[in-house]
A and B are shown apart, each in its own frame.
Chain A
Amino acid sequence: MTRRHAASLLRWLWLGAVVVVVAFPVYATVVTALLPPTDVAAGRLVPRPDRLTLDNVRTVLGTAPLAQQYLVSVAVTALQAAAQLTTAALAAYALVFPRWRGRGVAFALVLATLAFPGESLVIPNFQLVSGLGLRDTVLGIVIPYLAAGYAVFLLRQAFLALPREVWEAARMDGCGDLRALVLVVLPMARPQLVTAAMWCALSAWNGYFWPLLITDSPQRRTIQVGLAQLVVDQVTAPAVIYAGTLLVLLPTLLLVLFGQRFLVRGLAARVTT
């Protein structure tokens, strides 16, 4: 009995150590962001309720055009995720339900792009998007990412699991392809649609390399690029950096806390294929 207790104690000590190491940066972002900057710079990190302050958040909003950058990021996320879901739903429908020659090739073409590292495509895309006159615009940020292989992959899997008879019945009743997709297929695949939407939104919100390249003026950059600039400007005030990070993190933190069930479904789909 005592041996089991000792093993259990050891296990919890180990887990405690892992939690301390992994959660420390989170603690820095969420708690010390709300402490006076001088306390943080001196390493006094234990929060006392009477010392909590929004000073750092105020400094962040005062030094960087973070409010505008927030709006840019929201617009980019909404546009990009909506476009990816639309193009992916159309493509996945065409790949699953109607039978036509070349659909295997089309799917292979889409799937292969999952293996392309985005960084290796930026130079020609930069020339192309600049040539279109879209540098420093929201449209320029989203245009290379209006279609995404991963979303097609997720929705195709979801559609494959649906009963084909329902679609056939809808077609027999004279339902067109678009109506069949919107009124019959998508409502049945709602959980996977949420999963795909979350992954699309997450990657749009988190994008860094491309938005950094294609935007120039501070007020037209995304919040991620703005945060990197904040780090340069505030290198002597970690508390301000943490406050800025907290602002950037807030939406995705909520997504991970409350949408984890959906996100994990997307992971499982990737591992097993």
Chain B
Amino acid sequence: MVLPCVGLLLVFAYWPVVRGVVLSLYGNDLLGDPTRFVGLDQYAELFTDPELRRALLTTVVIAGLSVLLSVGGALAAVLPLRRAARRPRAVVSVLLSMPFAYSAAASAAVFAGLFAPAVGTLNQVLAHLGVTGPEWLRSPEWAILSVSIATAWYEFGFAFLVLLAAMTQLDQHVIEAAALDGASGPRLARSVIIPMLRPSLIFLLVTQTISGLQVFTQVQVLTRGGPADATSTLVFELYQRAFGEALPHVGSASALAVVLLLLVLLITAIQFRVLRRWA
């Protein structure tokens, strides 16, 4: 009975890993077919090819910024909610969990409307307030920030739901005891509540970092990697090389896929070690 599931996973998850490693060792021949054995050359490109180095750096920046904004933002929203009265708390919780309903494509589409050049809703609203908004998607620096903001907003809903659930399950006796001992406000949050939320925070940092490394949809919908490749990420490069060009480079795209897999497995392994040390 376990066969259908394991069989499918072997074919569509394990075999592609093996096949991807093999493909990554081959480069295009003169006809554009991936038949020329090149060994690890396409991995070395990750360090030598300026385009790839930049994509790697951009990925880390976007992942880092969006994790910081989404997890930090969710924590900053959940902490003050703890002492709010029941009904307003329920209303705020529903409003703040809304981003979770959006798919990556839906959230990216909304931000495309908000950030659009000339008629973008955000700059129109800012104009009413007498502020001239930036060119969200047209300058390289702002574009990276815009993609990070859109990604962070998309991740925020998930982070908020996780922390909210963790918060409602906290042991109230411990918090009350700490409050009786005179801890209050920021001090209570810092030395009692945040440590109690630590398992959820670790879980979020890990899962959000991993999904940050895979960011693609926001890039593809908002900027197509531009302007001038400023927002091209690891997965966007993979997409371009394997599917986006007239002459596909399946080999070098596969090397990127293997690198992504190794990065994610590495982070997962670290997570397990850290959690085990605490247990």
A residues whose Cβ falls under 8 Å from a Cβ of B: 7, 11-12, 14-15, 18-19, 22-26, 28-29, 32, 40-43, 45, 86-88, 90-91, 93-95, 103, 106, 109-110, 113, 115-128, 143-147, 149, 152, 177, 181, 205-206, 208-209, 212-213, 224-225, 227-228, 230-231, 235-239, 241-242, 244-245, 248-249, 252-253, 255-257, 260, 263-264, 267-268, 270-272
* Chain A residues whose C-beta falls within 8 Å of the C-beta of B98 in the assembled complex: 22-23, 26, 253, 256
Interface status of B145 (Cβ within 8 A of chain A):
no
Interface residues in B1-21 by Cβ distance below 8 A to A read 1-2, 4-6, 8-17, 19-20
A119 touches B235 (CB 8 A): yes
B110 touches A28 (CB 8 A): yes
B106 touches A248 (CB 8 A): yes
Contact A241 to B105, CB < 8 A, known contacts A91-B2, A121-B12, A124-B16? no
A124 touches B23 (CB 8 A): yes
- What residue of chain A has the Cβ atom nearest to residue B113's Cβ? A238
CB-defined A-B contacts under 8 Å, sample of 18: A11-B80, A15-B77, A18-B76, A28-B114, A95-B2, A110-B5, A115-B264, A117-B210, A117-B213, A119-B235, A122-B242, A241-B109, A245-B110, A256-B98, A263-B161, A267-B161, A270-B203, A271-B165
* B118 → chain A closest CB, angstroms: 7
B105 touches A225 (CB 8 A): yes
Contact A91 to B5, CB < 8 A, known contacts A117-B260, A238-B121? yes
- What residue of chain A has the Cβ atom nearest to residue B12's Cβ? A144
B109 touches A143 (CB 8 A): no
* B6 → chain A closest CB, angstroms: 6
- What residue of chain B has the Cβ atom nearest to residue A144's Cβ? B12
A43 touches B124 (CB 8 A): yes
B residues whose Cβ falls under 8 Å from a Cβ of A: 1-2, 4-6, 8-17, 19-20, 23, 73, 76-77, 80-81, 83-84, 92, 94-114, 116-121, 123-125, 127-128, 153, 156, 161-162, 165-166, 169, 185, 199-200, 203, 210, 213-214, 216-217, 220-221, 235, 238-239, 242-243, 250, 253-254, 257-258, 260-261, 264-265, 268
Contact A249 to B8, CB < 8 A, known contacts A45-B121, A235-B112, A271-B203? no
* B161 → chain A closest CB, angstroms: 6
B113 touches A242 (CB 8 A): yes
A120 touches B8 (CB 8 A): no
* A213 → chain B closest CB, angstroms: 6
Cα A54 to Cα B112 in complex, Å, equals 21
* Chain A residues whose C-beta falls within 8 Å of the C-beta of B11 in the assembled complex: 128
* Chain A residues whose C-beta falls within 8 Å of the C-beta of B156 in the assembled complex: 22
A224 touches B106 (CB 8 A): yes
Cα A122 to Cα B236 in complex, Å, equals 13
Contact A116 to B261, CB < 8 A, known contacts A18-B96, A208-B217? yes
Please classify the interface of chain A as helix (H, G, I), strand (E, B), loop, or mixed, using the class held by over half of its residues.
helix
A147 touches B81 (CB 8 A): no
Cα A26 to Cα B156 in complex, Å, equals 13
* B57 → chain A closest CB, angstroms: 18
Contact A252 to B73, CB < 8 A, known contacts A11-B84, A115-B268, A245-B110? no
- What residue of chain B has the Cβ atom nearest to residue A213's Cβ? B243
Cα A95 to Cα B125 in complex, Å, equals 56
A228 touches B119 (CB 8 A): no
B4 touches A147 (CB 8 A): yes
- What residue of chain B has the Cβ atom nearest to residue A105's Cβ? B6
Most buried by A among B109, B118, B161: B109
Cα A248 to Cα B15 in complex, Å, equals 33
Contact A224 to B105, CB < 8 A, known contacts A119-B257, A271-B200? yes
B221 touches A228 (CB 8 A): yes
A26-B99, A124-B16, A128-B11 are known contacts; what are 19 more A-B pairs with Cβ within 8 Å?
A: A25-B107, A28-B113, A28-B114, A87-B4, A88-B5, A90-B2, A110-B5, A110-B6, A116-B264, A117-B213, A213-B243, A236-B118, A237-B119, A238-B116, A239-B113, A241-B110, A242-B113, A271-B200, A272-B199
* B33 → chain A closest CB, angstroms: 13
